[in-house]
Amino acid sequence: MSDNPLEAAAAELTARVGDRAAAWDVDGLLPEDLLRALGARGLLCAEVPAEYGGLGASSLHSGRFTAHAGSLCSSLRSVMTSQGMAAWTIQRFGDRAQRAAYLGRLTSGDLAAVAFSEPAAGSDLSSVATTVRADGDDVVVNGEKVWITAAAYADLIVVVGELDGLGTAVVVPSTAEGVTIERVPHPSGCRAAGHSTVRLRDVRLPRSAVLGGGGVELSMLITTALAYGRISVAWGCVGILRACLAAAGAHAANRHQGGVALADRQLVARHLADLYADEQAATRVCEHASRAWDGRSPEMVVATVLAKYVSSTAAARGSGAAVQVLASAAAQDGHVVARAHRDAKLMELIEGSNEICQLILAGHTRVLVNTGD
């Protein structure tokens, strides 16, 4: 019997999603009632501690659940990643009252997004230009955020900006005056994840909306939040690989060409072997990162970058191989493998692109050489 308390929830998620993910992808829309029902059970941010209404799951258990969600629907998993990243940012940078108030909402059905990226600040988040200006008992937020996952569904958006020359995260209600949210039209992947441009124009909020009162190093704020996002995306990619392996394996076993099952053609079997190897390698590297996270190991940050890099490249490669095995059978929007292929490519771009992850890992190798480890 498994020790993962989220296993029953995973089975329930399978039943709730059913065969609807294809239609969600084609329509570019997730059912909000499902998101809110999952959120109200704490399942969109399962690691929130019990004292704040959460399930208090370990990173390992939460990761396995995230992989399961990713195998069903990457758009749904993306919303889960955003909710978890918002919760983690609030947990790390909020004071006690903010943790109680906001985390209570995120485990009761409210939905959240996290907004770093701007038109001129993609990989280089030190260029964030959003301002949070103190004005009496209030703060006033101005800026534009792009490609914000889940913003189309969110009640709260954790907006990263600058206050007095330092980094700050402010919790902005999506209904606040001066906030406009506009969906990205026709995204190429994770099409139902609600990616949006968020414009903030003289948005006036009480100072209590600024997590911890503000004033942290921007790089520390971003690294902390992204660490959660990276490990979550990495587990999501494990799910993509599992969905591809199942679909490609079944297709290759059942389809015959020239009187022979595709799986018995060695060049096709090679694709299946590589997919399996990718799925296994991605799983192991995610488990390593989650164990480092759960043990609060000093290796944690590098382990999350490694997991994200290995899993997303494996998912992009593996989903391409799955398309090759299914050929025309996967060449249609909504098909699990077609979705996987489009979704996985985007996972190589976000939460630190492949190149940014490579730079971080290369920097780490220099540390290893210098310390002789």
Give residues in contact with ligand FAD (CB under 6 A). 82, 113-117, 122-123, 147-149, 190, 195, 346, 349-350, 353, 355-356, 359
Q: Which of 173, 144, 152, 145 is nearest to 27 (CA)?
A: 152
Which residues of the chain form beta strands (DSSP E)? 112-115, 131-135, 138-148, 156-163, 166-173, 179-183, 196-206, 256-257, 260-261
Give whichever of 324 and 353 is closer to ligand FAD, judged by the CB atom. 353
Tokens representing 314? 């494996």
Give whichever of 152 and 325 is closer to ligand FAD, judged by the CB atom. 152
338 and 332 Cβ atoms separated by less than 8 Å: yes
Least separation in angstroms between residue 346's CB and ligand FAD is 4
Sign of CA dihedral 223, 184, 311, 22: positive
Least separation in angstroms between residue 119's CB and ligand FAD is 8
Give whichever of 15 and 362 is closer to ligand FAD, judged by the CB atom. 362
Give whichever of 122 and 334 is closer to ligand FAD, judged by the CB atom. 122
Least separation in angstroms between residue 41's CB and ligand FAD is 23
199 and 144 Cβ atoms separated by less than 8 Å: yes
Give whichever of 91 and 117 is closer to ligand FAD, judged by the CB atom. 117
Least separation in angstroms between residue 329's CB and ligand FAD is 26
Least separation in angstroms between residue 198's CB and ligand FAD is 9
59-348-327 Cα angle (round to 5): 110
Least separation in angstroms between residue 64's CB and ligand FAD is 23
Give whichever of 150 and 323 is closer to ligand FAD, judged by the CB atom. 150
Q: Which residues of 228-251 are buried (b: 16+ CB within 10 A; e: fewer)?
A: bbbbbbbbbbbbbbbbbbbbbbeb
- By DSSP bridging, strand 112-115 and strand 156-163 are parallel
Give whichever of 114 and 282 is closer to ligand FAD, judged by the CB atom. 114
Least separation in angstroms between residue 153's CB and ligand FAD is 12
Q: Which of 146, 73, 28, 123 is nearest to 343 (CA)?
A: 73
CB-closest chain residue to ligand FAD: 122
CA distance 26 to 341: 15
106 and 86 Cβ atoms separated by less than 8 Å: yes
Least separation in angstroms between residue 271's CB and ligand FAD is 26
Q: Which of 10, 15, 22, 19 is nearest to 75 (CA)?
A: 22
Q: Which of 118, 117, 208, 132 is nearest to 164 (CA)?
A: 132
Give whichever of 278 and 348 is closer to ligand FAD, judged by the CB atom. 348
Give whichever of 51 and 333 is closer to ligand FAD, judged by the CB atom. 333
Least separation in angstroms between residue 149's CB and ligand FAD is 3
Strand-pairing partners, residue 140, are 133, 204
